[in-house]
Amino acid sequence: MKISDIFKKRQSFSFEVFPPKAEQSMEPLKKTLAELYKFQPDFISCTYGAGGTNKGRSSELCEIIEKDGQHAMTHFTCIGNTRQDIIEAIQEYRDLGVENVLALRGDIPHGLDGTNGDFSNANQLLEFLRENFPDLCLGAACYPEKHMEADSLDTDIHYLKLKQEAGADFLMTQLCHDVEAYERFLETIRAQGIHLPVVVGLMPALSKDSIIRMSLSNGCSIPRELAEIIGKYGDTPEDFKKAGKEYTAKQILRYRQAAINGLHIYSLNKYADIVDILQAAGIDK
Ligand code: FAD
């Protein structure tokens, strides 16, 4: 199933999971997946280590999801990959039944000044995949508050348009707590001729440290409402989690009212907290 087919009918609903480390068991994640499937997600995305680290586990995870009768989307980066590596890796995913790929550059590893592969940016990877795998559904990343390396949002949007021209089928946002910033971004890209459907990625606020770390490392602003939760409950993890789950449920409702084509929940490989959040947002199994 191609993700792009869903948007013609309705908003998509999906989860992100990440593969366990090489030495860790897949069993806890299988249990999480079983619980997430109860919400009838349109697809489950599997992250990919930037340098292809742990890539065997990414494909193993996609295989499990496809064998469970669900639809997987693999994330994939250009870092360290030649054209031949890309053909082989993507063909392997295709052979497992995966029809959706989120095509990324990846974060440049420390000590390198480029991708160390045949492509420097995601638009080149997209163009190559579109040419070699014409039947794949291709997603691309977008940044409502701009990518950390970009000089300005305008420059970043200029490059975003190249992803559309290279054959991307849809966009998926980086985490963005500020729904109004997302709406401004959407208005701007539409005015610039970017018409691709946009899926919004939402990270649950379950731990003070991780929400601060993720926000800072992605250049994502922390709105006053979330800052107040951090200030009030930051020293008591259980209280923070309770307030953070309520906040995340509200964010889901806000985003669902905004002009989005899909909602993608970072499951963080947990299910009990995700179930609480979804139920509080009125999303039933
Ligand atoms: P690009 O589109 O190449 O952009 C990178 C920078 O270069 C930007 O500043 C952009 O403005 C600029 N730029 C773009 N095109 C050009 C061009 N042609 N010429 C010059 N400059 C250009 N990382 C992982 O390692 N694994 C994952 O699983 C993963 N999943 C992600 C999922 C989502 C939804 C998002 C939003 C990000 C994800 N990332 C992941 C992080 C991503 O790899 C980083 O944000 C990375 O730094 C940029 O990737 P990109 O595909 O946006 O790159």
Alpha-carbon distances, residue 9 vs 2, 138, 197, 261, 278 (angstroms): 13, 18, 12, 10, 22
Shortest-distance Cα residue to atom 14 of ligand 1:
159
Q: Rounded to whole angstroms, how far apart are CA atoms 264 and 173?
A: 9
Say if residue 52's pLDDT is above 70: no
Distances (CA, A) of 236 to 92, 231, 244: 45, 10, 12
Question: 253 CA distance to ligand 1 centroid (A)?
Answer: 27
**Among 16, 63, 99, 127, which one carries the catalytic annotation?**
16
Does some domain include residue 226? yes
Does the annotation count 66 as an active-site position? no
Q: Which residues span the domain enclosing 110?
A: 3-280
In short, whether 55's Cβ falls inside 6 Å of ligand 1 is: no
Percentage, residues of the chain above pLDDT 70: 99
- Could you tell me if residue 285 is inside a domain? no
Q: Is residue 78 part of a domain?
A: yes
Number of structural domains, the chain? 1
CA dihedral 129, 263, 16, 235 (to 10 degrees): 140
Q: For residue range 251-261, what is the model confidence (pLDDT) as tens digits?
A: 999 999 999 99
Instruction: Establish if 47 belongs to a structural domain.
Output: yes
Measuring from atom 13 of ligand 1, which residue has the nearest CA? 159
pTM: predicted TM-score of the whole model, two decimal places: 0.97
Residue range 203-241, pLDDT digits in tens: 999 999 999 999 999 999 999 999 999 999 999 999 999
DSSP, collapsed to helix, strand or coil, labels residue 266 as strand
CATH code, domain with 265: 3.20.20.220
The H or E element that residue 274 is part of is helix 272-280
> Does residue 79 have its Cβ closer than 6 Å to ligand 1?
no
